[in-house]
């Protein structure tokens, strides 16, 4: 490697060491129990809650895929900003209610709450399987993103598979040691780093290449006013269709509040006031997306194209005459984006499989120590499965994330019924979930069957609601005639 590549590698390793130190020490105050490992003894304060929610949501997708989408499709990228701002609003109402139920009944996972409230234990097992079905590709996205960044910024000397392995070995170490508190405090560290670097590069690159943000958009509008079909590049839906733009935003908005690793934070918060504060202040974290979009737009008229759209930012940085330490700091920021989401995902998915699949659905009894050991063992298994998918996957990162949202969105009816309704039919909720997920996956495998180009998750949700309504009506009628 060149001297500059060694400097980039050194800065990245320094970040990984700092992240490992923060993560290993983060769990020092937690009790030696399953609740301490999974829910942080229900004691997370406003600072950790703010960053654990924000940094959990903003991932390698944000730092790599969204600039790539802006680079190729223009204004289509704004669907991300739309669903991110709207998607968390329901949590203001659902979160505190779930937190009260969690303290009353001892819930620490989403499916555990839904299954118990619906008096239908097998529902927890199905929700656990669906969660992992979505979590594995979501985690694979983070691993693949980390490997891509390391590979590009070390001039190809570190292969993607090795870069991803090294980064997620660090994640594995502190998640195994510290649980949710290790995740939380590393998210604080990573979130500050991400926001600082996003604004630095997001404002500097347009100034360096175009003379400012305004001149950048003026030059893009003059050089590339339209895309195929006559749509304006800088006006929604950009190079995408309106059906893609709208349905991607809608399914992401629905799925946003249903993500189990996000919803589980309701059971970890210190009190309801902390939850509501998190929701109120969360949109400030969204501001971090604005400079990320600017980075992607800065690449539209760049003289040389990247090998892949997701590489547009590292490609520009490597092509400009920048100090190696600056490039290394970007590498650290991109790794922080992926790792801050990956640690929460792998921790939550292992906790869900044990708590919802093994204990709630199958009725197996585990002591607190046995449960904690089982979660840790599954952390390793799920990390390896996600790593294998990351190495094998050859598609784009946007498609990988949008797939994951489809099955997760099918949780919405059951979640609302469990939290808000007095009358609950567990069998109907369970059957409707199975139908919705089956339709979603079937249309994903055969996209030509999805009418009007709508996201398969919306068709799955329509089938889900129709099944729920039909079964509930039939069971009510049966009770009346009995």
Q: How far apart are alpha carbons 237 and 77 in whole angstroms?
A: 8
Q: Please give the mean pLDDT across all residues of the chain.
A: 84
* Residue-level pLDDT at 322: 79
> 55 or 156: which carries more pLDDT confidence?
156
Instruction: Tokens 């060149």: give the residue.
Output: 2
Q: How far apart are alpha carbons 398 and 65 in whole angstroms?
A: 6
Q: How far apart are alpha carbons 300 and 302 in whole angstroms?
A: 6
Residues 6+ apart with CB under 8 A from 131: 111, 260, 348, 349, 352, 356, 408
Give Cα separations from 281 to 38, 50, 286, 340, 420 (angstroms): 24, 8, 10, 19, 24
CB 143 within 8 A of CB 168: yes
* Residue-level pLDDT at 39: 61
- pLDDT for 342-371, tens place per residue? 888 888 888 899 989 888 888 888 887 888
Average pLDDT (241-258) is: 85
* Residue-level pLDDT at 31: 66
Checking if the pLDDT of 480 tops 80, the result is: no
Torsion over CA: 446, 449, 452, 458 (sign)? negative
At 273, the pLDDT band (50, 70, 90 cuts) reads confident
CB 138 within 8 A of CB 390: no
Neighbours of 185 (CB within 10 A): 23
Neighbours of 105 (CB within 10 A): 11
- Percentage of the chain modeled with pLDDT above 90: 20
Instruction: Tokens 């400030």: give the residue.
Output: 284
Give Cα separations from 84 to 136, 398, 472 (angstroms): 21, 15, 33
pTM of the model: 0.82
Write out the two tokens for 445.
């495998």
Burial string for 10-27 (b: 16+ CB within 10 Å, else e) reads ebbeebbeebbebbbbbb
- pLDDT for 454-474, tens place per residue? 888 899 999 999 999 999 888
* Residue-level pLDDT at 34: 65
Burial of 415 per CB tally in 10 Å (0-12, 13-18, 19+): buried
Q: How far apart are alpha carbons 253 and 85 in whole angstroms?
A: 9
Which has the closest alpha carbon to 35: 482, 367, 387? 367
Write out the two tokens for 30.
């937690």
> 366 or 70: which carries more pLDDT confidence?
70
Three-state SS string over 148-172 comes to HHHHHHCCCCCCHHHHHHHHHHHHH
Q: How far apart are alpha carbons 345 and 145 in whole angstroms?
A: 15
Q: How far apart are alpha carbons 213 and 228 in whole angstroms?
A: 25
Residues 6+ apart with CB under 8 A from 210: 216, 219, 298, 301
Checking if the pLDDT of 32 tops 60, the result is: yes
* Residue-level pLDDT at 216: 94
Instruction: Tokens 């792998």: give the residue.
Output: 346
Neighbours of 479 (CB within 10 A): 8
Q: How far apart are alpha carbons 332 and 317 in whole angstroms?
A: 14
Q: What's the CA angle centered on 71, arms 70 and 72, to 5 degrees?
A: 95
CA 414 from centroid of its chain's CA atoms: 21
Q: Would you give the DSSP letter of residue 62?
A: I
Which has the closest alpha carbon to 260: 375, 171, 349, 141? 349
* Residue-level pLDDT at 467: 96
* Residue-level pLDDT at 152: 80
Which has the closest alpha carbon to 61: 175, 163, 164, 146? 146
Checking if the pLDDT of 298 tops 90, the result is: yes
| Own/partner pairs, 429-433, CB within 8 angstroms, 24+ separation | 429/114, 429/118, 429/120, 429/123, 429/468, 430/118, 430/120, 430/122, 430/123, 430/126, 431/467, 431/468, 431/471, 432/464, 432/465, 432/467, 432/468, 432/471, 433/123, 433/126, 433/127, 433/130, 433/464
CB 96 within 8 A of CB 275: yes
Burial string for 437-453 (b: 16+ CB within 10 Å, else e) reads bebbbebbeeeeebeee
DSSP H helical segments within 264-411, as ranges? Answer: 272-286, 289-298, 312-319, 324-352, 368-392, 397-409
- pLDDT for 371-425, tens place per residue? 888 888 999 999 999 999 888 887 766 676 777 888 999 999 999 999 888 778 8
């Amino acid at each position: 490697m060149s001297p500059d590549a060694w400097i980039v590698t050194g800065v990245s390793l320094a970040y990984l060491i700092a992240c490992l130190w923060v993560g290993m020490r983060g769990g020092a105050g937690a009790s030696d129990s399953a609740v301490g490992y999974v829910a942080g003894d229900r004691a997370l304060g406003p600072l950790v809650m703010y960053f654990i929610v924000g940094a959990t949501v903003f991932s390698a997708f944000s730092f790599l895929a969204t600039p790539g989408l802006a680079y190729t499709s223009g204004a289509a990228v704004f669907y991300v900003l739309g669903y991110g701002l709207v998607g968390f609003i329901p949590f203001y109402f659902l979160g505190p209610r779930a937190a009260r139920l969690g303290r009353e009944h001892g819930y620490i996972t989403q499916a555990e709450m839904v299954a118990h409230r619906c008096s239908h234990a097998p529902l927890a097992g199905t929700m656990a399987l669906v969660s992992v079905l979505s979590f594995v590709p979501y985690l694979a996205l983070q691993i693949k993103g980390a490997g891509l960044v390391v590979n590009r910024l070390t001039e190809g000397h570190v292969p993607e598979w090795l870069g991803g392995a090294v980064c997620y070995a660090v994640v594995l170490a502190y998640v195994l040691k510290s649980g949710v508190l290790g995740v939380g405090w590393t998210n604080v560290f990573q979130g500050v780093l991400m926001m600082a670097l996003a604004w630095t590069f997001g404002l500097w690159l347009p100034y360096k290449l175009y003379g400012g943000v305004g001149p950048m958009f003026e030059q893009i509008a003059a050089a590339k006013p339209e895309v195929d079909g006559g749509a304006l590049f800088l006006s929604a839906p950009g190079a995408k269709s309106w059906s893609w733009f709208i349905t991607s935003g809608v399914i992401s908005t629905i799925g946003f509040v249903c993500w189990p690793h996000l919803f589980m934070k309701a059971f970890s918060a210190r009190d309801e006031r902390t939850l509501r504060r998190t929701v109120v202040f969360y949109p400030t974290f969204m501001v971090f997306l604005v400079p990320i979009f600017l980075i992607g737009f800065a690449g539209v008229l760049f003289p040389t194209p990247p090998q892949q759209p997701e590489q547009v930012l590292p490609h520009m940085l490597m092509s400009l005459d920048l100090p190696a330490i600056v490039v290394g700091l970007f590498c650290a920021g991109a790794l922080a984006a992926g790792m801050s989401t990956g640690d929460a995902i792998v921790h939550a998915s292992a906790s869900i499989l044990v708590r919802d699949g093994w204990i709630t659905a199958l009725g197996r009894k585990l002591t607190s120590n046995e449960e904690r050991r089982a979660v840790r063992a599954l952390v390793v298994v799920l990390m390896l499965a996600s790593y294998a998918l990351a190495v094998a996957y050859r598609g784009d990162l946007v498609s990988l994330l949008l797939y994951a949202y489809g099955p997760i969105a099918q949780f919405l009816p059951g979640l609302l019924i469990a939290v808000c309704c007095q009358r609950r039919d567990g069998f109907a909720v369970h059957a409707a979930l199975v139908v919705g997920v089956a339709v979603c996956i079937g249309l994903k495998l055969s996209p030509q069957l999805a009418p009007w180009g709508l996201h398969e998750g919306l068709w799955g949700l329509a089938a889900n609601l129709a099944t729920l309504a039909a079964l509930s009506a039939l069971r009510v009628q049966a009770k009346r005639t009995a």
